[in-house]
Amino acid sequence: MLNYYASHYFTRWAPGLVLVALLLLGGGARAQAPAPKRELRAAWVAHVFNLDWPSRKTLTPAQQRQEFVSILDSHRQNGMNAVVVQIRAAADALYPSTLEPWSEWLTGTQGQAPSPPYDPLAFMVREAHRRELEFHAWLNPYRALTNGTTASIAPTHVTVQHPEWVVPYGTLRVLNPGLPAVRQYLTRVVMDVVRRYDVDAIHFDDYFYPAPQTGIVFNDDAAFAADPRGFAATTAGRADWRRSNVDIFVKMVSDSIRSVKPWVKFGISPPGVWRNGTSVGGTATTAFQSYSDIFADSRKWLRRGWVDYLAPQVYFAIGQTAANYSLIVPWWSQQVNPDTVRHLYVGQGVYRISATATEPGFRSPSQLPSQIRLLRQQPNVQGSMFYKTTELRANPLGFADSLRTNFYRHPALVPTMPWKDNVPPTAPVQASVSSNPGAGIVELRWQPGPAAADGQQARQYVVYRLPAGTVPVTAADLADPATIRTITDSTAYQEALPTVPARYALTALDRLYNESAPTTFQVLATAAGSRQTALLEPAFPNPFTAETHLAFTLPAPGPADLRLLDLAGREVAVLLAETRDAGRHEVLLRAADLPTGLYMVVLRTASGIARQKVLLVR
């Protein structure tokens, strides 16, 4: 039963409208460490050698899916808003392709499809988007085989079909960057993914020309002789020619993506050091360098706007002698061209953290937290990418805890890319708010607004909670990420009633995270006093077919145990069993292989037990 005295009024805030609900209800906001409202927070998910996913070649498709969903849920809980998933590690595919064979790390044998059949890439993109995570499809362009003597090689593999494109380099097999046919082939592979899948970005890492090895020569003499393009037949000339080969390919991929799906981002994660030496415009370092070791002029790609983002792998400690993180990151920030602004993120090496790390700086629990603080001080750095998933989930030296409870405690919007799209979506319409003091719940509902001037519809929505007030909500009011309650693709939101006066604001986001202005709708309400027991909110949706959202609010920090039982009282699943902070928490219940029927959700906390029934239908 609704119990409120309401006065309704609408005000304009051009170009759109803002929904605000002033509730004389309860629940204060928690203290929050300063953080940007917009920041990319991504984790790499490596496929090669089963480093992250799948963890073994022998997993069944059902086990693969379950493991990947668990990875996504872990990253979401740690505050990520994007995943960078390796889908092509060695001229192979994590998706059905007429161009390249199935990956050996998926099924154990290159070219062998999953059985029973499914499309892993389509599944991964869909599940990432369900969790409001961007999906960056990570491809290794030039690496053909990680080991030419031991790899599983299918008859359809490019090394079999086009041996003339392949350069042996020790045990590696590399597609020759100097061949126009190779560049055309690789661009075709990239565009096959762009056209067929709803990926948010195409991502390359640092594999271009192979890294130097003593006593091994990369023999591209024939390719140079066939297409020298005016470069001198000298050591310096050959190096410039190789850099030009990579430049041509990067520009070709960039242009191709923009011509077909201009909203899809293109990013590259090169080595952390572009070039050693301040005399040549580089850094005061003596480390592996992108420019001369793998012939990747990554700074040029950033300055000329060929990429939408660059994420240098600055896997060094603060104060490290050969390569000092605190020198390299500010240098990269300074390389952003003010006339062609592109995003710069910092790749951070979670895999290097341990109590016994070789580099002393990585033995300290404060190393990566200090790195985050430093990168946030740089004017042109807009986020982090963490390598890699397995280590991040292992919580080395408590780093994942520091993300979840401090640095990424509140959600962040992905930074906008105005050179791709700067038209905001229209504000949500038919917005309403209702409170149910008896149940201790407030619920917001809305519908998408009409298409924006560029034809785009809203893709997600942001719900804010603000201190009570009577003046219209402004953009400045929404700048604090601590006010963000959720970022969702749903058109409804529920939470426990606040215990202090509060108001809500709602905005829309388009695909590239441009944010609408809001419509004002005010409700004055009275409600029961503060609840001192844990609140288990109604599941949404219920009944459900694939998944339902469970949420509960703890009045104080303490243990929370959430389980799913069948009607006979038998335990079906442990959904949560850990200590949580005071406040609201969400858990996603997936149907997976559960039989249809009625189930009981049971929440046990220090303040008591709460139950509710959920119905699974197919």
Mean pLDDT of successive 10-residue segments in the chain (618 residues)?
Answer: 27 33 36 76 98 97 97 96 98 98 98 98 97 97 95 96 98 98 98 98 96 96 98 98 98 98 98 98 97 98 98 98 98 97 98 96 97 97 98 97 95 98 95 77 90 95 86 87 94 84 90 88 44 70 85 85 88 92 87 86 84 84
Note the pLDDT of residue 408. Answer: 97
- Pair 577, 475 in one domain: no
- Pair 400, 432 in one domain: no
- Pair 320, 458 in one domain: no
Note the pLDDT of residue 289. Answer: 97
Q: What b-and-e string marks burial along 306-316, b requiring 16 or more CB atoms within 10 Å of the CB?
A: bbbbbbbbbbb
- Pair 332, 473 in one domain: no
Note the pLDDT of residue 582. Answer: 82
Tell me how far apart the alpha carbons of residues 48 and 55 are, in angstroms, rounded to a whole number: 10
- Pair 393, 430 in one domain: no
* C-alpha of 612 from chain center: 33
| Domain encompassing residue 556 | 535-616
Residue written as tokens 């590259």? 268
Residue 281 lies in a domain: yes
Q: Following DSSP, what letter does each residue of 530-599 receive, concatenated?
A: ---S-EEPPPBSSSBSSEEEEEEEESSSEEEEEEEEETTS-EEEEEEEEEE-SEEEEEEEE-TTPPSEEE
- Pair 479, 554 in one domain: no
Note the pLDDT of residue 534. Answer: 67
| CATH assignment at residue 478 | 2.60.40
Closest residue by Cα to residue 140 from 103, 106, 114: 103
- Pair 489, 563 in one domain: no
Note the pLDDT of residue 484. Answer: 95
Tell me how far apart the alpha carbons of residues 225 and 435 are, in angstroms, rounded to a whole number: 76
- Pair 578, 610 in one domain: yes
- Pair 376, 472 in one domain: no
Note the pLDDT of residue 13. Answer: 32
- Pair 136, 71 in one domain: yes
Tell me how far apart the alpha carbons of residues 74 and 356 are, in angstroms, rounded to a whole number: 25
Is residue 81 within 8 A of residue 41, CB to CB? The reply is: yes
Residue 443 lies in a domain: yes
Note the pLDDT of residue 385. Answer: 98
Q: Following DSSP, what letter does each residue of 151-186 receive, concatenated?
A: S---TTSHHHH-GGGEEEETTEEEE-TT-HHHHHHH
Residue 547 lies in a domain: yes
Note the pLDDT of residue 291. Answer: 98
Residue 273 lies in a domain: yes
| CATH assignment at residue 402 | 3.20.20.80
Report the length, in residues, of the chain: 618
| Sign of the dihedral defined by the CA atoms of residues 135, 518, 21, 543, in that order | negative
- Pair 598, 500 in one domain: no
| Sign of the dihedral defined by the CA atoms of residues 55, 56, 62, 65, in that order | positive
Domain boundary among 363, 383, 407: 407
Residue 517 lies in a domain: no
Cis peptide before 270, with omega less than 30 degrees from 0?
Answer: no
What is the domain count for the chain? 3
Tell me how far apart the alpha carbons of residues 550 and 9 are, in angstroms, rounded to a whole number: 33
State if pTM tops 0.85.
Answer: no
- Pair 24, 47 in one domain: no
